[in-house]
Amino acid sequence: MNQSNFERRYSPLIILGLLALLVLVSGLWAMDRSNNNDNGSNQAGHQGDGTEVTATADDDVIHWKMVTTWPKNFPGLGSAPENMAQLVNRMSNGRLQIRVYGAGEMVPAFGVFDAVSQGVAEMGHGGAYYWTGKVPASVFFTAVPFGFTANEASAWMHYGGGLELWREAYAPYNLVPLAGGNTGVQMAGWFNKEINSVADLQGLKMRIPGLGGEVLSRAGGTAVTMPGGELYTSLQTGVIDATEWVGPYNDLAMGLHEVAKYYYYPGWQEPGPVLEVTINKQAWESLPADLQAIVEVAARAINQDMLDEYTARNNRALTELVEEHGVQLRRLPDDVIVALHEAADEAVRDLAASDPMAAKVYESYKRFAEGVKNYHHVSEQAYINARDLKDARAASNEAATQ
């Protein structure tokens, strides 16, 4: 009875009190959310160099250095490691902060492998084929002439055993590798004379690094290696007759159209080069599982993001090169493509025979390539041909009636 009186008397007050409490709590929650959003946008890269966040007490923060083979903020290639550092910072709420160093800032471009191996830096970003002298198999993890496209390479890495083999190849060097970017199919390069037959390759002095250079030499040319910064002057002064670099987006920025007449495609030498993230093994093992997952996901994100960026920007740059700068776009003749392909098969076979790990990786690469090639005959390749068919037929009908 007393209890019931109490309820009748006080229940309106209790309900009002509860309502007031609800309003207060939701207000606090909204404030908290907007604070978090403010932090979120700061973490997106507008504080200092974009890699410092203060959301976490400093005691819990892990600071890593990432050395790269690219000039600081180099378009595409150099923005990928910066993007990765920012993603890791944001996903870890500032618990793992990575500071990115351009080539030469901490170690020279070609010192990245050793620096990460020795723990001078915890991470690196570059291309595995730069380390062919130490790890002959590394070519397969970057680009093989007439090998995988970007999609195929990524499929082999993540679903075809490629990444496991890469880890095995790098284990003796205290390194854990991850795929960290792809430029997509490159261009065959810039030439000052037309290439109409295999005879035109004889004595051709061309800057073309890695296995592509080996292939050109086997086909009668002379392969030269030099850093990107020297290409413009070397072409201008005739030190070289031709050069490959990347594709329209990067080549336009370099001004190569000012010193060469013909722009050839397709980039048989680098059809889908994979870039690498390397992590010092002890540093990797010291990370808790959630931060390891964050690093893996961030690498996977930049791997795709770089390809998207190149696909979008190459398009625009190629249009500008042709329409505004009058660049002569040329396709390599079939005979030249076949001759280069034959030389590439030999070069890859010889590379595999030179080293047991390279032989093991080559087996896996070859098996995957045969399967994916078969499938792409009826998918990617068949579709792209089918998409062009209507316009091709219309063009040939128009030509026939003229």
Beta partners for residue 190, in sequence order: 243, 263
Binding mask 265-294 for Ca ion (x = CB under 5 A): -----x------------------------
Report whether 71 contacts 79 (CB < 8 A): no
Instruction: Choose the stretch contacting Ca ion; rule: CB under 5 A; options: 29-37, 102-110, 145-153, 243-251.
Output: 243-251
Q: In angstroms, what is the minimal distance from the CB of 350 to Ca ion?
A: 21
3-state secondary structure of 150: helix
Scanning residues 244 to 263, which ones bind Ca ion (CB under 5 A)? 244
Q: In angstroms, what is the minimal distance from the CB of 213 to Ca ion?
A: 10
Q: Return d(Cα 147, Cα 150) in angstroms, integer.
A: 10
Nearer Cβ to Ca ion (121/144): 144
Nearer Cβ to Ca ion (82/244): 244
Q: Return d(Cα 39, Cα 90) in angstroms, integer.
A: 9
Q: In angstroms, what is the minimal distance from the CB of 188 to Ca ion?
A: 10
Q: In angstroms, what is the minimal distance from the CB of 270 to Ca ion?
A: 5
Scanning residues 159 to 188, which ones bind Ca ion (CB under 5 A)? 186
Q: In angstroms, what is the minimal distance from the CB of 246 to Ca ion?
A: 5
Nearer Cβ to Ca ion (92/243): 243
Binding mask 41-70 for Ca ion (x = CB under 5 A): ------------------------------
Size of the site for Ca ion (CB under 5 A): 3
Q: In angstroms, what is the minimal distance from the CB of 251 to Ca ion?
A: 10
Report whether 200 contacts 119 (CB < 8 A): no
Q: Which of 98, 106, 161 is nearest to 294 (CA)?
A: 98
3-state secondary structure of 99: strand
CA-CA distances (angstroms) from residue 142 to 49, 161, 163, 271, 304?
30, 15, 12, 10, 15
Binding mask 329-348 for Ca ion (x = CB under 5 A): --------------------
29 burial type by CB count under 10 A (0-12 exposed, 13-18 middle, 19+ buried): exposed
In the block, which residue shows the tokens 């920007």? 313
Q: For binding to Ca ion (CB under 5 A), which residues are involved?
A: 186, 244, 270
